[in-house]
Every structure is written in structure tokens, then in C-alpha cells.
Amino acid sequence: MAYRITRRGSIKAVSATIGIGALGASGRAAAQTQPAVIFGGTIPFSGRWAEIGQSVHAGYQTVVKYVNEVKGGIDIGGKRHRLELRLVDDASDPQRATTLLQKQIDDDVRFFLGSYSTPIILPQVALTERARKPMVQAGGGGDPIFTQGYKFVFGMYPRASRSAFPAVDAFEALSPKPQTVTVVYTNDPFSKPQGLGVIERLKEKGMQVVKVFELPAQLQDVSAVLTSVREDAPDIVMCLTSDQNSLLIARQMAQSRTDVKMLFTSLGPQAASFREALGKYAGGITCISTWSPTFPYTDPIFGSTAKFAEYYRANNTLPLIYHQGTAAACIVAYVNALQTVGRTDDPIAVRDALAKLDIESLYGRIKFTPQGDGDPVLMGSAVTQVQGGDIKVIAPERLREAAPQWPIEPWSKR
Amino acid sequence: MARRITILLLAVLLIAALATLPFFLKAFYVRVGLSIFLSAGFAVCWWLLAGFTSYYSFGHTAFVGIGAFAAALALRAVPEAAPALQLAWALGAGLVVAGGIAMIIAWPILRLRGHYFTIAMLAVALVLGEAVAAFPIFGGSTGLALPNLAPMSVRVEAFFYWIALALLAVVLAIAWAISRSRLGYGLAAIREDEDAAQMLGVPTTRFKVVAFVLSGALTGSIGAVYALNLGYITSDSVFRGSLSLEMIVNSLVGGMGSILGPVIGAAVMTGVTKLVLADLLEYHLAITGILIIAVVLLAPDGIVGLWRRRRAREAER
Amino acid sequence: MTALVQTLVNGLLYGGILSIAAVGFSLIFGVMSVINLTHGIFVIGGAYGALMAWSVLGIDPLLSIPPLMLVAFALGWGCQRLVIQPAVERGNPVAALLVTFGFTLIAVNLLTVTFSSSVRSISPSYSFINLRVGDISIDLVRLVAFACGLALIAILGSFLRFSRWGRVIRATALSELGARLCGVDARAVYALTFAVASAFAAASGVLIGMMLPFTPAEEVTWTVYAFIVVTLGGVGSLGGAMLGGLLLGLVSTLTQTYLGAVYTNMVMFLILLATLLVRPNGILGSAFKASR
């Protein structure tokens, strides 16, 4: 009972501020008589991935709260069911994560949601696979999750090595076409394959990779890299980096007046705090938005992406970024599969339904590849650019909100 | 002599009893047991050096990481061998490579004393962790997957439970044998006063090196099991500062004065953090911190120390 | 050529920050022989303090340094008196270390619950101003932080050198027994040392917060860097921390430029190891009591 503590009054205020809204007592009481669909899993609430863990958790929580309190449960096989989360803290520690997940498998939890980061999710998938119970996750994009023949794991993203393709494709379409690109990635299980994938894609698309920088996983100082960028003066710098690292790079670029025609950071500008920290210097920075609350999709539970965003913001203070959206989509996918199957006691049938799933959701189209990751075209990210303090989709065409700003303004002219 | 036989019999009985537990327990409790054996194994290995000589290593995760990566890389060489052979091969690789690296660094690093040794071991762990991540041949940044070696008929968690239990028994037996040997007395002399021991003719350097290499090699073999059990390792997940700290915390909580200290400490700390505090999403770190401070301040000789003090008091009455 | 000069300038500026971030650790290590794992939490705590002052009260981070130092001084004093001193008195070298570890777990947990673990940063208006000297580019904020760091080190240096309490601290560092025999209350000196060190750690945290994004989990980084700087330069000496920090900054940027950034940390840690093996007392250090 992970939430008992958060229902205590004294802690409630704190938990609300960091976005762990507990299930409201009133909604719970009304729904108490309905049978529950229990989703298990672990969340990195402390340790290295704590920040993202909180967002992922808030995303799961939002769907559950909405279904139970606003919709009064969901219909599965003609009977109303409420949803229940049973998530515990894995402290970003894989050994702890597997041990705690085993407890839930023992307790006959049938459906699992993802933690965050490939080193945690991969060992967990080995357990759920053996127990023949599905896991739908939005936290592990590492290629090995999808290349070892596992049948019960589904991921909301295309695997890491394919995940930044949309950005390369968008740059190819710019006019005049960019010629030279410097690629920067950090040496971790997600960014590195992402970076190597980007390098291949750039070559395929006829752009020249001037230089490649492989950086340590946590950056303190990139002034030396920037000195070299100023010398090479590439058209585009593409950084496959976490938001903290991206902030550092963008900041040091602005400080040192390292001008390029386009700056891309895979993670960062999606968060308002990132844009606020950089102020006018955030303008023009491009990123891939796996998801954005402005996407014009319909959703079987919330009605639309916008309504999900509205409900989320009314109940949470933690800024709404793509982690909440992708996490929420995991449960939307489950609900759909459960309704197709019409019963909650058959995880294998639910797995089969998930594999065949093809729906539109608040996240966009959900259709998994036969290996279980997101389809690289259908579920590929949008490419967004900071314009006027907000992020605007510049590609693909069907989602476009604004024309790309190309080249971006030099730092000194701002 | 009779007492020694009694202890031996009791130990065998206890191990046999523990070995039957997976037949009765749910998989989760088997996994908690597995976690305890792994942590206890690590803690005893750390204690082999620290408890005997009071050379406190702050970087024993280096040997966990070496063992883990040695096992993962060694298994790539024999993808087709029978699982039992692969297991032995992986454990052997962990043991030998960790022992070999321990032997290489032993002489220079054991010249350092006190805090300097402590920091130097931290540095060793950091350097190796970074190197395994930085050089692509090790694959530490993107991670290595290990095959599942458990036979189809055996539950995986039970399989590793038994391996970890067996290794813990071996490590304990070695520690126990050392404590009653010439080596053990020599090491204890080093702990009390290294210079005096040297003057009295204890070959201090040789003894320290033996203890260090033994500690490193055994940690490496348990590291191999740790990696096999996880199935996927990265530099971050096995060269992890918190692993080093756990060995120290477990030993201190249990008590440095006895071989059983690290085992009891590991059982208590793992039990508390995985069973009692597992469901606390937000505050379990703080509670663990309070627990550590409380043990250090209220039970400086650990749980074993508390128990001994009570027995001594009862004996006085 | 420009690249080399630029690299050296960057290295020195970064090194200055490493220096100021390590002096507190050096002081505690030198005087009390305690490996203080709470160091990083005081650094990061300083950054969060400045963030609060800046975002809530609108106070410039540089102006918030003195009040934050006072707060950290008080916290450090209390922390030392309540939990660390009792552990030091146990006589076990690891007891004090473990207590600081436990304290750090609690503090990280509280910081996470209070501020969430989101990435934070402090960007006063002048954070993006850039100075140009010929072809060399210098970030104003790094230069300011560097200058403040030097000023703080000078203040701490003159306090240790010229004030009565400073002399007592140095005497206790040389020989606790000797100092006791001269009527020094060692416990009071320890508390004072810890408090002063905490204050300077917090001050460095403010400077770091102006330059780098931070999260509660970042504390580990600053504890480890303090380790390296202090070991490299020499324990318990301010000059050592200065020299160690500057050298390390240079090594870091030179490695980035000429070897590859991915090796930066590895080279830094290798230097730590090599120093320990070749000259365990550090470049400027003399043998101190923890090594005996």
C-alpha cells in the first residue's frame, strides 16, 4: 500500500507540491465496491533518476485519478472496474528494483508499468517475461530491451538508436539544406546509441559529420568542446544529452558566444524551467518532443490531449512534460487492451491485444513494432523549436505549428 | 576440540536449513534472501581486509565491477558451452581477474595507511568505473547482457539463492580458517600496531597482500553472481559507490569484532530496507540515514557488540 | 595557439571554483581527520539557499553569500555537536564517516522532498555576458565566481593566520594533545572548524549554482571533487587546496581538448591515485596526524 503514507494530512501538502497527488479520499470511497485493476511496478523516487521518476509517476497517477473520480471506473466485460496503482521506490538501484518487482509478481499483480532507465527496466523485463505478464513502459528505450526476443514488453518510444531520426529528417528538409553537423552525445546506455544512430542517419541524408564528441555521462564543463566548435563552425550542433547536460551546454554556448545556425538538444527545451533558465537565449533551440500537451489528438479516456493537459494541470503543480504524457499513454493502452479482452485475469490475452493495438490516444497513434518498441514512423517524435518563449512543432508537416526559424539568431544580437 | 565440532555441525545444519527455504517461500522472499546473501558475501569479503587489519577500503565496488564485467566478457567467449560450465567459467573469470588486478595494485596501495588507503581505494574504483565506461571494448557505457544460466526446471531466483548461499558459506569458511591461522594472528597484530608487528618479525607486507588479494578475488566471484542475477550490467550499475558504502555500513551495523557481524548487519539492513521500508515512496532514505546514525552512536560495536555486552553483564550477576 | 590559451583560461577559471569548493573539506580533514561526506550537501544546500533568495526575495546571489554563510555556520555547528562529535569520540575511524553518510542521506531526502529533484539553475541578469580579450572569450559569471572564490579563500586564510581562533585551529590540527595541554578545548575547536568549513562550502555552492545547473543528487560530485583537489594539493593547507583546484581545472580542460572529453573524469581520478601513490601528502602538504 504505497499511498497510505501520502494520505496522512501532514505529508499531503508536501506530496501535492511535488506532484504525488494521492487518490482523493472521496473518490476512493465511492469506488471502493468496484473490482480493481491493479498495475504494479517500481519508480525511481530517489537516486539518480528521481527527477524523471516523479514526472512518470504523476502521469500514471493522473489517468488513474481521472478514471476513478471523474469517469467512475471503466467498463471491462460489462462490469465497472476502478484502477489502482501499486508502485514502490526502486531508488534507481537495479538489484532493489528486481527484488521489489518479484514481490508484486508473487502477489499476483498481473499488469506492469515501467520504471525509468534501461539498466533498471531490462532486469525487470526478464522477470515479467518469465512470469508471462505484460509490461508497458515509457522509460526504457535501450535497444537490448527489444532485441532479445522478449514478447511481453512494450515501449512507447522507438528504440534509442532510431529515436532521433525525425530531427535529422527535419534538418534535411530545411532550405538552404545544412551541410555540416557536429554531433555531441554522452556516454550512457541511451544517448550513445541515439548518437550513433544520428551519425548514420546524417550520412544517409547527405550531411557531413564534422566532428563527434563523446562526453562523460555527467557534465561539469564543456568549454573545451565549445572552443573546438568555434573553430570548425558547423551549421548544426546536435546534442544527444539529458536536460541537465543540455542546459549546461546551451548556457555555456550563449556565454561564450559560440554561434551556430542551429542548436539541437534532444532533451531540455521541453521543460519550462529550462526555457526560463535560459530566457531569451533559449530562442531557436530545437529538440525532439516525444509528446507535447499541444498535440491535436483524440483520446479514448480523456477525449483529447488538451483535456488531459487541462485535467493534469488542475491537479498537479509539477510541470507537464512529455514524461507524464507517455506514462499516461501506457495506462490508456492497457485500458484499451483490457476492454478488448473483456476480462482482467488473463495477462497473456492482454499481451496479445497490446501487440495488435492500433489506436489514437492522447500520446498519438499507439502501434508497436513486432519487437515491442514504438513504430519509428508512426510513433516517432515531433521536432520542436523554442519560439517566443514557448515550444512550437516545426516537423512533421501534419503537426506543424510554426515554420522553422533557420538560421537562429546569433547570441550577441539577442 | 569438542566445541569446534559443535560449531561446525551447527553451521552445516543451518546452511542445510537455509537451503531448503526456497521450497517453502514465495519468490519475493527468496529474492530477499538472495539479496541478503549477496550483501553479506560482499560485506564479509570487505571485512576480511578491514576486520583483520583495519585497512578500510572505500572502493570495494571496484572488485564487484571487475568480477561482473570479467564474467560478462568471459561468457562471450563460450556462448555454446553447457550452462554449468558457463557458470563455473564466469565465476572463475570473476575470481581470477579481480584477484589478478588486486595483486597488481596490492603492493603500491598497501603502502598507504589510514585515510590514505581509504581514499586510494575510492580512486581505484572511480578510475576503473570510468575506464570500463570510456573504452568501447568493455562496453560499460551501453551495457552488457548476460545469458540466463538457470536450468529450465529450476526457478531462477532459487537457483541464484543457492549459488549465493554456497558462496557465502565458502567465504565465511575462509574467514573462519584465517582467524585461527598464523595469518590471522599476524593480521590482528597489524591491526593493533603495524610497526610493532613488523619489528616482532611478522611479515606484514606479505600478510596484508594475501588478505587484500583474497578479499578482492572473492568479492569478484560474488560480483560475477551479482551480474548473472541482474542479467544486464552497465558501468554505473556495478561500479557504484553505494555498493562500497553498503559493505561498510553492513559490517559496522553488525559489528566489526566478529565474522558474524557483517552477516548479521547485511541481514538486518537488507531486511529493514527491503521489507519494512520498501513501501515508503518518499522517506525511506532519511529513515535509513537515521538508522545508521543511531547504530553508530548507540551501538558502536554493532549488534554483535550489544549482544556480547549483555552477556557479559549477565555473567557478572 | 588560441585554442591552447583559451583552454588554459577556461581551466584556470574552472579550477578556481574547484578550489573554493574544496577548502572546507580540507579544513575538516586536516583538523579533525574526518572524511566529511556531508561536504557536498552543504555545497548544494548553498546553491538551493541562493536559489530561494533569488527567486523568492529577488536578492542577487552574490549578496546572499554572507547570510547563507551564517546559516550554514549555525547548521554546521549544530550538526557537529549533535552527531559528529559523539561519533569522533568513539575512536573508530569509520564511525565518524558513517555518521556523516547517514546525515547526508537525511539531508538529500529532505532537499528532494522540499525542492523536488528537478534541475534548478540561477541565472541573474549578468549570467550571459561575455568578455573578449583578443580571440579569447571569458564568461563574466565564471570570472566573477573565480574572483569571489579567491576573495573568500583570502578571508579564510587571514582568519586562520592572524586571528586567535585561527591559531588555535591550526595548533589543534598539528597536535590535538599538545593543544589540549596548552588549555585548548578541543571539542569547541572541532565545532568551530566544522562550522567554518560548512560556511565556506555553502558559499562555494552559491558560486557553483550561478554557473552550473544542479539537483540534490549532485552533492556526491562535489564531495568526490573535494577529495581529489585536497589530496592533490595537500591536506589541511589552503595553498594546497588552491593549487590542487587550479591544477585539476587545467587537467580537466586540457583532457577535454586534447584527449577526448569522455576521458576527463578518468584522468582526474587517475591523477588522484597517482598522487596518493607517489606523494601521499599532496604537492604542498606535510604529513598530518591521520597518516600516522
DSSP B257-316: TSTHHHHHHHHHHHIIIIIISTT-SSSHHHHHHHHHHHHHHH-TTHHHHHHHHHHHHHHH
**Using an 8 Å Cβ cutoff, are B60 and B247 in contact?**
yes
**Using an 8 Å Cβ cutoff, are A168 and A201 in contact?**
yes
| DSSP secondary structure code for residue A69 in this structure | I
pLDDT at residue A10, rounded to an integer: 35
Q: Grid coordinates in use for A287?
A: 529538440
Q: How far apart are CA C82 and CA C216, in angstroms?
A: 23
pLDDT at residue A176, rounded to an integer: 92
Q: For chain B, give the mean pLDDT.
A: 90
- The distance of C117 to chain A (nearest Cα, Å) reads 5
Residue with cell string 560556511: C199
Average pLDDT of A183-188?
91
Tens digits of residue pLDDT in B36-74: 999 999 999 999 999 898 898 989 999 999 999 999 999
Tell me: pLDDT of C237 over 90: no
What share of residues in chain B are helix, strand, coil (percent, to 5)?
A: 80, 0, 20
pLDDT at residue A13, rounded to an integer: 36
Nearest CA in chain B to A14: B282
DSSP C77-97: HHHIIIIIHHHHTT--HHHHH
CB-based burial of residue A376 (10 Å sphere; 0-12 exposed, 13-18 middle, 19+ buried)? middle
**Using an 8 Å Cβ cutoff, are C95 and B300 in contact?**
yes
Give the pLDDT band of residue C285 (cuts 50, 70, 90): low
pLDDT at residue B241, rounded to an integer: 84
Tell me: pLDDT of C63 over 80: yes
Least confidently predicted of A205-209, B258-262, C29-33: C29-33
C119/A213 touch (CB, cutoff 8 Å), yes or no: no
Residues contacting B22, CB < 8 A, separation 6+: B30, B33, B155, B157, B158, B161, B162
C117/A224 touch (CB, cutoff 8 Å), yes or no: no
Tens digits of residue pLDDT in B279-302: 665 677 788 889 888 888 888 888
C290/B114 touch (CB, cutoff 8 Å), yes or no: yes
With beta carbons under 8 A apart, name residues in chain C contacting B113: 291
pLDDT at residue C187, rounded to an integer: 87
CB-based burial of residue B192 (10 Å sphere; 0-12 exposed, 13-18 middle, 19+ buried)? exposed
A224/C261 touch (CB, cutoff 8 Å), yes or no: yes
pLDDT at residue A370, rounded to an integer: 92
End-to-end CA distance of chain B: 29
Give the pLDDT band of residue B14 (cuts 50, 70, 90): very high
Q: How far apart are CA A163 and CA A201, in angstroms?
A: 11
Which neighbouring-strand residues pair with A212? A183
Query: How many Cβ atoms from other residues are within 10 Å of residue A358's Cβ?
Result: 11
pLDDT at residue A92, rounded to an integer: 81
Question: What pTM, to 2 d.p., does this model score?
Answer: 0.82
B:223-262 residues touching chain A, CB 8 A cutoff: 226, 229-234, 236-237, 242
Average pLDDT of A350-367?
94
Tens digits of residue pLDDT in C157-191: 999 989 998 888 888 888 778 888 888 888 899 99
Tens digits of residue pLDDT in C87-110: 888 766 678 888 898 999 899 989
**Using an 8 Å Cβ cutoff, are A364 and A336 in contact?**
no
Average pLDDT of C197-221?
91
- The distance of A207 to chain B (nearest Cα, Å) reads 26
Q: What is the maximum span of chain C, computed from C-alpha positions, in angstroms?
A: 59
What share of residues in chain C are helix, strand, coil (percent, to 5)?
A: 75, 5, 20
CA dist B219 to A365, B36, C186, Å? 49, 15, 40
**Using an 8 Å Cβ cutoff, are C235 and C280 in contact?**
no
Tell me: pLDDT of C287 over 60: no
E runs forming strands in A44-187 = 74-76, 79-89, 111-113, 135-137, 153-155, 180-186
Give the pLDDT band of residue A5 (cuts 50, 70, 90): very low
A215/C3 touch (CB, cutoff 8 Å), yes or no: no
Average pLDDT of A162-190?
91
**Using an 8 Å Cβ cutoff, are B260 and B254 in contact?**
yes
